[in-house]
Amino acid sequence: LTQMVNLLSTKLELGSPMICLYLLQNPDHYCSHQFVLFYWKSFVLEAQSYWLTEDPRSDNKVVLIWWKGKLIGLSLTFNYMHRPKIHDQYNLYKCLRQFKRVKKPRKKWSSHPIPSDNKENASDDQPPLKEDLDLCFTSGHLLQSSHIVSVTWEFKRVVPNFLGSPLPHPDKGDQEYYCCSMLTFFKPWRSGKDLKTENQTWSEAFDTFQFNEVDLLHMKNMNLHYKCLDLRDDFQAKL
């Protein structure tokens, strides 16, 4: 009861402008970028699982959804692994910024012909347009029949927010794991077999793959945190 009273008391302190924003379903703050949650380790584990005898995906994150009358867990990796065929050449980092999963729009049949120049009155149950078919997930995705991929046009403002354990260090620790992670982020794949050959190590596959300049810049920026920590340690060592 005390917790409820305290919670209600804090609500009394809300200003009328903020309450109006909530009532009008407007955001209570604005920012220049949109951040997309990215549980990166789930994708790395999925890529590694093809080459390992023991399945490493016990720590894989899933989303619980209600599907066909039952509750199931949908892996976060499905949207990328079963992305539309026209997106074959898109790497994971690019897909996170440019695309998202949305429900297919429902369309109704109309008994009257609809003029081609009057698209606003088009009904909701017509056969899917060709562009809708092009953006469908491939077979194997549980939501293939109900969802499609939507394009985010202002993708330059979308930033993946890496969640989970810290990213691997490029100069310290397990270099194989670092190379595997970078290939997972910046090389197109649908299965771990697309990232390297059977006779290759992750380091060899990393060295032979031609990353573009934008991807190399992203890798460099990911390492800024570690460089700042190293400079701090060097400065403290000189004191």
Q: Which of 59, 64, 54 is nearest to 41 (CA)?
A: 59
pLDDT in tens, the chain (239 residues): 677 767 666 666 667 777 777 788 887 777 888 899 999 999 999 999 999 877 655 566 666 767 677 776 677 888 999 999 999 999 999 999 999 888 887 764 444 444 444 444 433 344 444 445 568 888 888 777 878 888 888 888 999 999 988 999 988 889 999 999 999 999 999 999 999 999 999 999 999 999 999 999 999 999 888 888 888 888 888 87
Range list of H helices, the chain: 2-12, 16-23, 40-49, 78-81, 92-98, 130-134, 175-186, 202-208, 213-222, 224-238
> For position 117, what pLDDT does the model report?
44
> 3-class DSSP state for residue 84?
coil
Distance CA(149)–CA(144), nearest Å, equals: 10
CA atoms within 13 A on the CB side of 75: 18
Cα atoms in the 13 Å half-sphere on the side-chain side of 32: 1
Start-to-end Cα distance in the chain: 54
Q: What's the pLDDT at 8?
A: 66
| Residue 234: how many other CB atoms lie within 10 Å | 9
pLDDT of residue 56: 59
**Packing angle between helix 175-186 and helix 213-222, nearest 10 degrees?**
130
pTM of the model: 0.73
Q: What's the pLDDT at 90?
A: 95
